[in-house]
Amino acid sequence: MSIPTFTVVIPARLASTRLPNKPLADIGGHPMIVRVAERAHASSAQRTVVATDSQEVAQACAAHGVEAVLTRADHQSGTDRLSEVAAQLGLADDAIVVNVQGDEPLIEPTLIDEVALHLAAHTDCAIATAAHPLDDVAEVFNPNVVKVVCDNAGRALYFSRAPIPWARDAWSAVPAQPAATAQVPLPAMPVLRHIGIYAYRAGFLRRFPTLAVAPVEQTEALEQLRAMWHGERIGVMVTAAAPAPGVDTPADLERVRALWVQGMAQEGP
């Protein structure tokens, strides 16, 4: 199946508690949001749009030839922001929109293509996302690492911050949040870490703001559970490799800057 026509939308809020003005952080002479857009431009996307509530971010995008649209500042989630953008762009209900996070300046363009293709190939799903197997048991037990369990057809059964699936026999003597995981074995069944990239059908994006917040979404603090709570299916594309790191903290920013310089050196003049 060939890569479908799709639009990339990159939500970018200027406010950030851990890293103020994060979208404008410099990476190799360009704002981070521009670096993310450059990665999206390198995919097969027909169009790349930054969605922001900040005039400053929109101006930075315009200065580097990146399309940006202004959205309301009161959105509760990135998906709500995408819903407004889908309406602004007049996208048809069956149009595919890929949500690329604005703090992923090293994202692989092929991953963007693959998630769009996965949604196009799974017509019973309103959303597609990605995951990869974990090989570090400490990450399995880390509540900041979101896990997903899928059915036989590759559709998500559940997302959680807890270790899922729970290896009853292998972990029979292990507390749910062990103080040390060095001696805890990985289960025989792969544990999948959720990668935070989504492809949506525009029709679903238009419906999303009308869906009531789900109790399980509030409990886990995972907005994708709202869609599942209301009966929507999420296809999960499993990839072998972990994605490049994103940027949440000042330490993350320094690491990504170093990786950027390293990548430029490898490409050569």
Predicted local confidence at residue 64, as pLDDT = 97
Predicted local confidence at residue 266, as pLDDT = 65
Predicted local confidence at residue 99, as pLDDT = 97
Statement: residue 269 has pLDDT above 90: no
Segments making up each domain of the chain, as ranges: 4-258
Predicted local confidence at residue 16, as pLDDT = 72
Predicted local confidence at residue 165, as pLDDT = 94
The first and second tokens of residue 251, run together, are: 């330490």
Predicted local confidence at residue 106, as pLDDT = 95
Statement: residue 156 has pLDDT above 80: yes
| Dihedral in degrees, nearest 10, Cα atoms 243, 142, 101, 261 | -50
Least confident of 124-138, 162-176, 231-245: 162-176
CA 130/CA 228 separation, integer angstroms: 16
Give the model confidence (pLDDT) of 189-227 as tens digits.
899 999 999 999 999 999 999 999 999 999 999 999 999
For residue 7, the cross-strand partners are: 47, 97
Give the model confidence (pLDDT) of 89-143 as tens digits.
999 999 999 999 999 999 999 999 999 999 999 999 999 999 999 999 889 999 9
Statement: residue 263 has pLDDT above 90: no
Predicted local confidence at residue 43, as pLDDT = 97
Predicted local confidence at residue 267, as pLDDT = 64
Statement: residue 159 has pLDDT above 80: yes
The first and second tokens of residue 28, run together, are: 């190799």
| Confidence band, pLDDT 50/70/90 cuts, at residue 188 | confident
Q: What's the mean pLDDT when you consider all of the chain?
A: 92
CA 139/CA 132 separation, integer angstroms: 12
CATH 2.30.29.30 assigned to 4-258: no
Q: Which residue in this structure is represented by tokens 């995408």?
A: 82
Least confident of 59-73, 137-151, 169-183, 208-222: 169-183
Average pLDDT over residues 148-170: 94
Q: Which residue has the higher pLDDT, 232 or 267?
A: 232
For every residue of the chain, DSSP letters joined together read -PPPPEEEEEEE-S--SSSTTGGG-EETTEEHHHHHHHHHHTTT-SEEEEEES-HHHHHHHHHTT--EEE--S--SSHHHHHHHHHHHHT--TT-EEEE--TT-TT--HHHHHHHHHHHHH-TT-SEEEEEEE---HHHHT-TTS-EEEE-TTSBEEEEESS-SS--TTTTTTS-SS-S--TTPPPPSSPPEEEEEEEEEEHHHHHHGGGSPPPHHHHHHT-THHHHHHTT--EEEEE-SSPPPP--SSHHHHHHHHHHHHHHHHHH--
